[in-house]
Each structure stands twice: as structure tokens, then as C-alpha cells.
């Protein structure tokens, strides 16, 4: 085909980087979504006034660039002598960052459920929890899914910034190879392709669920 110094071992190195990207993304999206649902429900439940402190905190996570959050987070854990590994610090910061966006998505999803529908559920004797579980959750999920998929894909790409804490994820692994082999275009092409291969199923899953739910 054409000449390249890239070996199978180098590809394995890239794959390991991709695994790190996946791990950081999976942990952060999972934890961030759990927190986001929790915060979103709280914000919806207590109203704008009482959730002001929470809203303010989450606004910080949404407005300060992620790189700064990572560096500050790392400095903070070191000052507080928490002794966190870079992976832990990365996941904690990215989780909070994800949670901040996810909270907005969840809040929007919940408020998209008409008050009259929820009133009908409660009128049937359902508790607050049953209304949440059987009526609000499924309806809000349908509304929120596209935004949540977008958030997940975004976090996966943003997770490249954890390389600043010394984690060798996909982008950092590519950089190392570029420096060593001096074949930037070819290696970045492969790197981009791997990002695409990871993202594609997530995007398709969203499309699939949307179609499945479109009949009702």
C-alpha cells in the first residue's frame, strides 16, 4: 500500500489509549448521569428559589473551561492530600462537568411532561415516586435522549483533555506516536477513525431508540 513505520505494537498502543478514553468516558457519563438525574429532580422539586445554590454551583462547572477544572481539581486534591491517581481525579472532574450539563437536560425532560398528565397519575392513587417512575421517567427520557447522546459524545471528545494530568488516552497516545514516527497525518487519521468507531454505535443507539419510541 504505502510505506509506514507504524508497527502492530504501535497499533496496540493506540488501542490501549482508546481503552483509556472509553474508561474515562464510561465512568464519567455514568456517574455524571446519576448525579444529573438526582440534581435535575431536586431542581424540579424544590423550585428555582431553593435550588439557587445548586444551580450556581452547576453553572460554574458549565462555564469554566474543562482544562482549567482539571488542573484546579488536580491541584486541589493534592493540597487536600487526597492522594488520588490521575485517573480518579480525571473521572471526578469529568463526572461533575457531565452532571452539570445532564442536570439541565433532565430538568428540561421532566418539565416537558404536562402537569395535567401527572395530575391524572396522582388522581389514580399513584404516589409521587410511582408517578416519577412509571410516567415521568419514560416520557422525560424520550425527550432528553437526543441531548443526552450529544452530551455523551461531547464528553468523549472532551475527555482528551485528561492528557494534561498525564493519562495516556487516545489523543495522547497518538501524539506520542507522531513525535516518534513523524507521520502525523497518517496517525491522526487512524486516531480520528478510532474516535468515529467508538462514537458511531452510541449515535446509532440513539437513533434506534428514537425510532422505537416514535410509534406512541
CA 43/CA 55 separation, integer angstroms: 8
- Nearest-approach distance from CB 60 to another protein, in angstroms: 35
**Among residues 86 and 108, whose Cβ is nearest to another protein?**
108
- Nearest-approach distance from CB 105 to another protein, in angstroms: 18
Spatial CA neighbour of 25 closest among 198, 200, 208: 198
CA 93/CA 27 separation, integer angstroms: 11
Contact between 139 and another protein per CB under 8 A: yes
- On the CB side of 81, CA atoms within 13 Å amount to 0
**Among residues 34 and 137, whose Cβ is nearest to another protein?**
137
106 and 40 Cβ atoms separated by less than 8 Å: yes
Contact between 213 and another protein per CB under 8 A: yes
Residue 184 Cα to chain centre, angstroms: 28
Contact between 208 and another protein per CB under 8 A: no
**Interface residues for another protein in 108-137 (CB under 8 A)?**
114, 116-117, 119-127, 130, 134-135
The footprint of another protein (CB under 8 A) covers 114, 116-117, 119-127, 130, 134-135, 138-139, 142, 213, 215-216
Amino acid at each position: 500500500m504505502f510505506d509506514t513505520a507504524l508497527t502492530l505494537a504501535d497499533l496496540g498502543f493506540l488501542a490501549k489509549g482508546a481503552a483509556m478514553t472509553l474508561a474515562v468516558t464510561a465512568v464519567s457519563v455514568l456517574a455524571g448521569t446519576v448525579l444529573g438525574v438526582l440534581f435535575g429532580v431536586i431542581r424540579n422539586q424544590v423550585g428555582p428559589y431553593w435550588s439557587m445554590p445548586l444551580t450556581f454551583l452547576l453553572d460554574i462547572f458549565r462555564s469554566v473551561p474543562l482544562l482549567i477544572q482539571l488542573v484546579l481539581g488536580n491541584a486541589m486534591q493534592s493540597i487536600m492530600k487526597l492522594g488520588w491517581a490521575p485517573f480518579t481525579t480525571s473521572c471526578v472532574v469529568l463526572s461533575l462537568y457531565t452532571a452539570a450539563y445532564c442536570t439541565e437536560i433532565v430538568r428540561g425532560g421532566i418539565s416537558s411532561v404536562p402537569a395535567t398528565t401527572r395530575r391524572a397519575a396522582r388522581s389514580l392513587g399513584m404516589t409521587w415516586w410511582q408517578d416519577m417512575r412509571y410516567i415521568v421517567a419514560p416520557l422525560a427520557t424520550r425527550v432528553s435522549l437526543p441531548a443526552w447522546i450529544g452530551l455523551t459524545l461531547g464528553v468523549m471528545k472532551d475527555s482528551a483533555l485528561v492528557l494534561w494530568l498525564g493519562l495516556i488516552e487516545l489523543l495522547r497516545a497518538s501524539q506520542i506516536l507522531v513525535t516518534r514516527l513523524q507521520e502525523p497525518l497518517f496517525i491522526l487519521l487512524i486516531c480520528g477513525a478510532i474516535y468515529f468507531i467508538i462514537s458511531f454505535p452510541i449515535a446509532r443507539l440513539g437513533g434506534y431508540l428514537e425510532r422505537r419510541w416514535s410509534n406512541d
